[in-house]
Amino acid sequence: MERLEFHGGYPAAESAARAYEDADRRRAVEVYRFFYPVVSMEGILRGTRAAGAVDNESAPVLVARPHHIGFTLNSDTPYLGAALDLRKSGPLVIELPPGPLVGLVDDHYHRWLVDLGLPGRYGPRGGRTVLLPPGHDGPVPTEGDNDEVVRSDTWQVLCALRALPLDGDVAKATALLKSVRIRPATTAAAPLSYLPADDQPMNTTPLAWEDNVDYWRVLHGVIATEPPVDELRPMLGLLAELGIEAGRPFAPDPRTERLLVEAARQGRDELLVSAFASRRPDRLVWPDRTWEWVGLRPENGTFERPGSLDVEARDRWFAQAIVASPAMFRRERGAGSLYWLGLRDADGAYLDGDRTYRLRVPLPVPHTLFWSVTAYDAATRSEIVTDQGRAALRSLLDAPPPGGASHVDLHFGPEIPAGAEGRWIRTAPGRGWFVYFRIYGPEPAAFDGSWRPGDFEPLP
């Protein structure tokens, strides 16, 4: 790097101008990466509204399919995603019935607030959670000592829930999900209603903004409408140096707009490198396989390590996925879930939509609930789109292997191999793809390495 020129201890004018340009670009790339989860959350909220939902009034319920564009959504369970506005409602109550529900609440900055359902305080027993808005200093509207009270630092929050179809009955799981009650705690307003969205296309991603100036426009809209959060103040300070701060309009001059566009493209590209080309040795799950940990930190969902935040793990997760919590990756028998990323074949090459592969899964898979493999498009990080109209193979819902079998072979490729009926996902020629292997309720063999899936084997 060329050194700056100084005269008598003062920077020369040309050197000072170059230093400002370099510093602003460096700041812009860093804040792009740091705030990407925030813009991703805004994509979820806007996509939910675009599907017809109204904050505090209605929410879509769906089993994700390829026409639902969302970062690594899966077709394993019905989803409920509720955009909630605590500024309008005041304290909100979320009432869960007993049953196999899994969920959480995240704030507008995509930070975890509370787990709900199986990974939460009440487990399968249901229960009440009271959400308090920022600065709430009035009475806490609880109905007893067992209510869980959670305070949000932002007005906008997302409640995301899934119902596990443990007996393979998706309709039953969907009905359970629709029995969740979300309502204002201090008024007689009706609880949220639910919109069937299985067949309705949705896009809950920031793909349209992530590499252009609209990324910054969307980010400005969030920080302009939410209270400042102490832990974000240093990064908000970097944004302010770029002219992006609450209380000021978003109006970059031509030089700043050019720099912001360049930073958005570079930041997006760097995130995808973290997601799909990390050099971290701890990304590998097993030394003799190409499978990787999705978020690099399988022991927690907050990306914390002793003394610091694992920024590479955070970048990697949010470039691919949405929402995280400490319970999502809890390493306990029968609790939480495991997520493994498969993006390379047995020879280390990226998975290619033009080629055909076999994935051998030893049986039984060590789980107490179920397991699945879902294929995603590398460019959209959403379920692959082909005329087959499916992207997942699931132990509960798809063709079971013969009784007593030692393994099941899953196939992926543009054409179905002989004998692969019911265990094949069509891929799109010319497009890269990857999978998530999910185990719900993992057992010890999934942790200690005594069980492991094969690698993707290219077939002739």
Compute the C-alpha angle 77/79/83, nearest 5°.
165
Pairing of strands 407-413, 424-426: parallel
339 touches 329 (CB < 8 A):
yes
Token reading at 265: 């493209």
Token reading at 386: 């082909």
Whether domain 282-459 has CATH 2.60.120.600: the reply is yes
Which pLDDT value is given to residue 366?
Answer: 94
Question: In angstroms, rounded to a whole number, what is the distance separating the alpha carbons of residues 410 and 321?
Answer: 24
DSSP 21: H
Residue-wise pLDDT for 174-198, tens only, equals: 999 999 999 999 887 889 999 999 9
Which pLDDT value is given to residue 1?
Answer: 66
Strand ordering across the sheet containing 79-85: 112-117, 101-107, 156-163, 79-85, 58-62, 193-196
User: Residue 324: what are its φ and ψ, rounded to 5°?
Assistant: -150, 155
351 touches 433 (CB < 8 A):
yes
Q: Taking all residues of the chain, what is their mean pLDDT, rounded to a whole number? A: 93
User: Residue 46: what are its φ and ψ, rounded to 5°?
Assistant: -65, -40
Residue-wise pLDDT for 91-100, tens only, equals: 999 999 999 9
User: Residue 221: what are its φ and ψ, rounded to 5°?
Assistant: -60, -35
Q: Which residues contact 240 (CB under 8 A, 6 or more apart)?
A: none
Which pLDDT value is given to residue 131?
Answer: 97
Which pLDDT value is given to residue 289?
Answer: 97
Which pLDDT value is given to residue 142?
Answer: 85
Which CATH fold topology does 51-203 show?
Immunoglobulin-like (2.60.40)
Q: Which residues of the chain have pLDDT under 50?
A: none
Q: Which residues contact 147 (CB under 8 A, 6 or more apart)?
A: 127, 128, 129, 130
| For the chain, domain boundaries | 6-45+209-275, 51-203, 282-459
Which pLDDT value is given to residue 141?
Answer: 87
DSSP string for residues in 285-308? SSTTS--EESSS-TT-SS-EETTE
**Which neighbouring-strand residues pair with 83?**
158
Q: Which residues contact 222 (CB under 8 A, 6 or more apart)?
A: 38, 39, 42, 108, 109
Pairing of strands 456-459, 68-69: unpaired
Check if 51-203 and 282-459 are the same fold.
no
Q: Where are the alpha helices (DSSP H) in 151-302?
A: 170-178, 214-225, 233-241, 254-276
Which pLDDT value is given to residue 36?
Answer: 98
CA neighbor of 325 nearest in space, from 307, 293, 291, 299: 299
Of the CA atoms within 13 Å of residue 401, those in its CB half-sphere come to 16
Question: In angstroms, rounded to a whole number, what is the distance separating the alpha carbons of residues 279 and 233?
Answer: 30
CA neighbor of 359 nearest in space, from 295, 409, 426, 294: 409
72 touches 318 (CB < 8 A):
no
Q: Where are the alpha helices (DSSP H) in 51-143?
A: 86-89
Question: In angstroms, rounded to a whole number, what is the distance separating the alpha carbons of residues 264 and 332?
Answer: 39
Which CATH fold topology does 6-45+209-275 show?
VPA0735-like fold (1.10.3360)
